[in-house]
């Protein structure tokens, strides 16, 4: 009984994880794409690159709300 509850919990977590996490790579890809055609100066581009890297490591650590906020900041710098 306990084992099957644990298994159900694990399956739920596995299903919920990717659904919640899916936004970050999309945002990062969007920022990277925008960076290619950006008119920001080198310092601005470096800042955006740094924000993307920070966002993706927050995403990899499972910290998705923080990651989305960081990537959102990168997109804002890009004027999106
Ligand atoms: Cu994420």
For residue 22, the model assigns a pLDDT of 77
Is this prediction's pTM over 0.95?
no
Give dist(CA 67, CA 71) in Å, integer: 6
For residue 15, the model assigns a pLDDT of 45
Q: How confident is the chain (80 residues) per 10-residue block, as mean pLDDT?
A: 54 50 91 97 98 97 96 97
Output the CA 69–ligand 1 centroid distance in Å: 10
Q: What's the token pair of residue 43? A: 């310092």
Of 7, 75, 13, 5, nearest in space to 44 by CA: 75
**For ligand 1, a single-atom ion, which residues have Cβ within 5 Å?**
21, 24, 59, 64, 67
For residue 29, the model assigns a pLDDT of 97
């Amino acid at each position: 009984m306990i084992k099957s509850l644990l298994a159900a919990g694990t399956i739920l977590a596995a299903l919920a994880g990717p659904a919640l996490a899916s936004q970050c790579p999309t945002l990062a890809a969007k920022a990277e794409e925008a960076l290619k055609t950006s008119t920001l100066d080198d310092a601005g581009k470096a800042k955006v690159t740094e924000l993307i890297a920070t966002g993706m490591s927050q995403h990899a650590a499972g910290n998705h709300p923080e990651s989305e906020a960081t990537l959102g900041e990168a997109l804002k710098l890009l004027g999106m």
